[in-house]
Amino acid sequence: MIRWRSLWGCRTALAVLIVFLSVFLAACAKNPVTGQEELAFMSEPQEIAMGARYYPEVIQLNNGTPPEDPQLQAYVSRVGGRLARVSHRPNVPWQFTVVDSSQINAFALPGGKICITRGLITKMSSEDELAGVLGHEIGHVTARHAVAAYTRQVLMAGAMLGLTIALSDNDYAPALLAAAGVAGGLMMLSYSRDQERQCDELGYQYMTKAGYNPLAMVNTFELFKKMQKSEPGVIEGMLSSHPLPRERITAAEKRALSSPLSARPFHTAEFNRSLALQRGRAPAYAAMDKGNALARKKLWSQAEAQYKRAIALYPKESMFYSRLAIAQMQQKQNRQALANAQRGARLSWGNFYPTFILGMVEVRQGDYRAAAAAHRQAAKILPDHVLNNFLLGYSYDKLKQPQNAAKYYRKVSSASPKSDVGQAAQKRLIQMGYK
């Protein structure tokens, strides 16, 4: 007997394969760096749109920007712009941002959106070192590495889609959903060793074209190696996405020694002026980082003391108050925790984490109306943050607004079905009579 459903699945899979191959043949573009035709399932306008879409969210996930330091932002934008103008894609809408994270990292999003952390830039000693790092990240954009990663994911999703159709009695909605979610994975990209080597070479080209000493790139690599031994937890983000074998350092040394620019003095005057505020605040951030390390060990009273020290040194950083609030909440100092959470949010109402933490503290206090207001504001900043959406749903639940509660529980359940909060949201939806 012919199994018609299986036959239909095979025919549908064949049709999908034919369409997929047609797209495959049509989707070629010239790589701006190599000049070669490459398969690319993302046009330049789509690449630019994706970067613009995710850049504000990525900045928020890294604590926003350092407070009250527009000079540093303007300076990094000038240096980045100088490098971008001599790159292979000068007309991309480039943006360069210092984010308020102590991690040692820099990263590029599609379409010319680049971030460098406060933690990394304050470890540097010259504009040349900054140019080497920014030039490397510019290389990821000019060589369209994110587009290549996206294309690989689409190819894998397309292959899985055809297989799923053939084997699943034509119920292929889950595979389609998986393919649609590929774009979100671009925010967590890791690049191949060959791509990292290519970006080292491109960074060298761009920084020397802009007049910088390429020995600075060697200095930066040596800094990373030193920190890998002395501060592994601080630099792990950088090395997970930018692995640094010894041969990359050796290659950088050879390039630098072959350049006449290696005899030039490093650019330090404007760099030092632009970093002055952050260097003055360094002891405060060091105290916060110590507090964070103690908090990870659940040594809450010791963490509290470090956060208070950070506030005494620099009282205008919202993160200090928000983290102090968490430490106090863990010690059941509820009144003090609420006061500090409110201070943190007032200092930075446009940033996600201080607002989110205020909502958490208000949930603990049982003030669900105020908690809902804080979590609503946080959801405007990061609409897809799973825990924030769960707490917003929970606050509405406690306020006896079941439709609003179900809306956010569904978002959590859909976004993270296997997590603890995802399962809690599913359970509560069933209890409320929603499917």
**Amino acid, res. 133:** V
The confidence score (pLDDT) of residue 192 equals 80
What is the C-alpha separation between 344 and 356, in angstroms, rounded?
A: 10
pLDDT confidence bin for 33, thresholds 50/70/90: confident
Read off the tokens for 162. Answer: 């055809």
**334 versus 178: which is more confidently predicted?**
334
The confidence score (pLDDT) of residue 90 equals 97
- CB-based contact 326:310 (threshold 8 Å): no
List, for residues 62-82, the tens digit of each pLDDT value.
Answer: 999 999 999 999 999 999 999
The 3-state secondary structure of 371-399 reads HHHHHHHHHHHCCCCHHHHHHHHHHHHHC
**38 versus 287: which is more confidently predicted?**
287
The DSSP code sequence of 286-319 is HHHHHHHHHHHTT-HHHHHHHHHHHHHH-TT-HH
Residues 6+ apart with CB under 8 A from 191: 140, 145, 149, 199, 241, 242
Query: How many residues in total does the chain contain?
Result: 435
Which range is least confidently modeled, 121-135, 141-155, 407-421? 141-155
The confidence score (pLDDT) of residue 283 equals 98
What is the C-alpha separation between 404 and 397, in angstroms, rounded?
A: 8
Residues 6+ apart with CB under 8 A from 217: 129, 132, 136, 200, 203, 204, 207, 252, 256
What is the C-alpha separation between 348 and 320, in angstroms, rounded?
A: 11
Which range is least confidently modeled, 15-24, 41-50, 52-61, 116-125? 15-24
Q: Which of 218, 144, 228 is nearest to 186 (CA)?
A: 144
Which range is least confidently modeled, 34-38, 300-304, 332-336? 34-38
The confidence score (pLDDT) of residue 176 equals 33
Checking if the pLDDT of 355 tops 90, the result is yes
Q: Which of 383, 387, 291 is nearest to 340 (CA)?
A: 291
pLDDT confidence bin for 399, thresholds 50/70/90: very high
pLDDT confidence bin for 385, thresholds 50/70/90: very high
pLDDT confidence bin for 31, thresholds 50/70/90: confident
- The domains located in the chain, with CATH, are 1-274 (no CATH), 282-431 (1.25.40.10)
This prediction has a pTM of 0.84
Checking if the pLDDT of 187 tops 60, the result is no
> How confident is the prediction for the chain on average, in pLDDT?
85
